[in-house]
A and B are shown apart, each in its own frame.
Chain A
């Protein structure tokens, strides 16, 4: 009987304890900076190196480039860039290898939709997804280029 009464005591005490419910849809969750949400893509910075598409474990990124329209500049510019969020697992590897930080994580995570087709995001959508962009991208996997490279600070 003692154990039962102790248990009753705990639940009775909890009745007046602080509640942990959050009113989530009314008040948005504020995620920490490192949170891995839906990617933001900056077409101007992309050098079409294909690293992100290659490192993606689920092969959810498809991209094509075209020669730079400005004949004075070498290299390619991005033409299409699609992420299929049906299979993207937001593992952070694409942002980790990107040498120019053209693809970065945001803190947005609300992707629910009524159709699977809505989860197929193209370059324009990803470009416009520019709110709550992650500040610290820590792209340790990227080659020594730009301000990337194996960062030791943080």
Chain B
């Protein structure tokens, strides 16, 4: 894969790149379809229910049916809405969500873009989605949507900061922002992965990541029991589907990012297990994080907005900075010296 990226751009190469992009898109859509199915099943089981089981064998086609329904639904735009922004918002939310997937490496050989500031690219691009959510909330001309949009803006700003700072430790240890190198540098034993030496960073990262995803217990922008549906209350049909898609693509992205940054990427947890292909290990870790997110959703109540902000600025940010300091001191004393 890497060799292609270094070649000069010809028509043939462009076609191949585009093809790979489409393959990734299809894979991601497939992931989203079955992540939703899996989520509903897992939460159903945890709530003593069976979950979807009517459409297709074991309900496997349930999400397909739901998406079809969303796509053929009437597309309503409120009369008093800001039409241009209202239409723009779902697209603006989705594009960066798919864009960030470019930098995620799956194994040492399987990756799409080998950017030396991959992590920065991820963080920078994912910030755009916030703007889309605020836009959507504002353009809907609905008070609940506006409140949801405002909450989302406040939440994302206060959690983006600890999220970025929490990975600074990883960057310092690895000495690179290239996600592939970060993944590569973690060893073949699970205690050589970043999550143990960087335990503070890891915890802060997970909390901030769940918050970035707007998932329970941080699903305040949606908060169905207070704001009805928050920023997408006026959206219907495929525009709503785009917001949903964005959310699940980010689940994919965050799960992959956590795996690469902290859980050793494609490395086996024990060195003698490395006969199993790296991609399997990657997928296992990835699936575990996705499951963890669903598990959280089945258990947790929602946090309040002021507590959310308080936690972001007063707890997570100092912890993340502390982590940077500890890492710096450690590097200075033991590695450099």
A: residues with CB less than 8 A from B are 4, 7-8, 10-12, 14-21
How far is B300's CA from A19's CA once the two chains are assembled, in angstroms?
21
Cβ-based interface call for B68 (8 A): no
Q: In whole angstroms, how far apart are the Cα atoms of A17 and B46 in the complex?
A: 8
Tell me the minimal C-beta distance from A26 to chain B in angstroms. Answer: 10
| Residues of B contacting A16 in the complex (Cβ-Cβ under 8 angstroms) | 45
Contact assessment for B299 and A20 in the assembled complex, using a CB-CB cutoff below 8 Å:
no
Given A19-B50, A20-B48, 5 more contacts at CB 8 Å? A12-B46, A12-B295, A15-B45, A20-B49, A21-B50
Residues of A within 8 A of B45 (CB): 14-16, 19
Q: Which of B47, B50, B296, B300 contacts A14, CB < 8 Å?
A: B47
Q: A4-B300, A7-B300, A8-B295 are in contact. Are A14 and B49 (CB under 8 A)?
A: no
Answer yes or no: B42 CB below 8 A from chain A CBs.
yes
Q: How far is the CB of B14 from chain A (nearest CB, A)?
A: 47
CB-defined A-B contacts under 8 Å, sample of 5:
A4-B299, A14-B45, A15-B46, A20-B48, A21-B50
Q: B154 to chain A: closest CB distance in Å?
A: 23
B300 cross-chain contacts in A, Cβ below 8 A: 4, 7
Q: List chain A residues, Cβ under 8 A from B309.
A: none
By beta carbon, the residue of chain B nearest A13 is: B46
Interface presence of B298 (CB below 8 A): yes
Contacts of B299 in A (CB 8 A): 4, 7-8, 10-11
A10 to B295, CA, bound (A): 11
User: Most chain-A Cβ atoms within 10 A of its Cβ — which of B45, B295, B299, B300?
Assistant: B299
For A17, what are the chain B residues with a Cβ–Cβ distance below 8 Å? Answer: 48
Q: Which 7 A-B pairs have the closest CB atoms?
A: A11-B46, A15-B45, A11-B299, A21-B50, A7-B299, A11-B298, A20-B48
- Bound together, the chains give a CA A19 to CA B50 distance in angstroms of 7
Task: Report the Cα distance A15→B44, complex, angstroms.
Answer: 8
Q: Distance in Å from the Cβ of B40 to the closest Cβ of chain A? A: 13
Chain B residues with Cβ below 8 Å from A12 are: 46, 295
**Chain B residues with CB under 8 A of A15:** 42, 45-46
Closest-by-CB residue of B relative to A17 is B48
Q: Nearest CB to that of B43 among chain A residues?
A: A11
- A5 to B300: give the CA distance in the assembly, Å: 10
Q: Pick from B42, B295, B298 the residue with the most CB of A within 10 Å.
A: B298
Interface residues of B in 38-61 (CB under 8 A from A): 42, 45-50
Which residue of chain B lies nearest to A10 when distances are taken between CB atoms in the complex?
A: B299
A33 to B105, CA, bound (A): 64
Q: How far is the CA of A15 from the CA of B49 in the complex (A)?
A: 9
Which residues from A are CB-within-8-Å of B49? 19-21
Shortest CB-to-CB span from B219 to chain A, Å, is 16
CB distance from B210 to the nearest CB of A (A): 12
Residues of chain B contacted by A4 (CB below 8 angstroms): 299-300
Distance (whole angstroms) from the CB of B290 to the closest CB of chain A: 15
Q: Report the Cα distance A7→B42, complex, angstroms.
A: 16
Taking CB as reference atom, which chain B residue is nearest A5? B299
Q: How far is the CA of A17 from the CA of B44 in the complex (A)?
A: 11
How far is B15's CA from A15's CA once the two chains are assembled, in angstroms?
46
Contact with A along B125-166 (1 / 0, CB 8 A): 000000000000000000000000000000000000000000
> In the complex, which residues of chain B have a beta carbon less than 8 angstroms from the beta carbon of A21?
48-50
Closest to A22 in B: B50
Contact: B48 with A19, CB < 8 Å?
Answer: yes
* Residues on the B chain within 8 Å of A10, using CB: 299
Within 8 A of A (CB), among B285-327: 295-296, 298-300
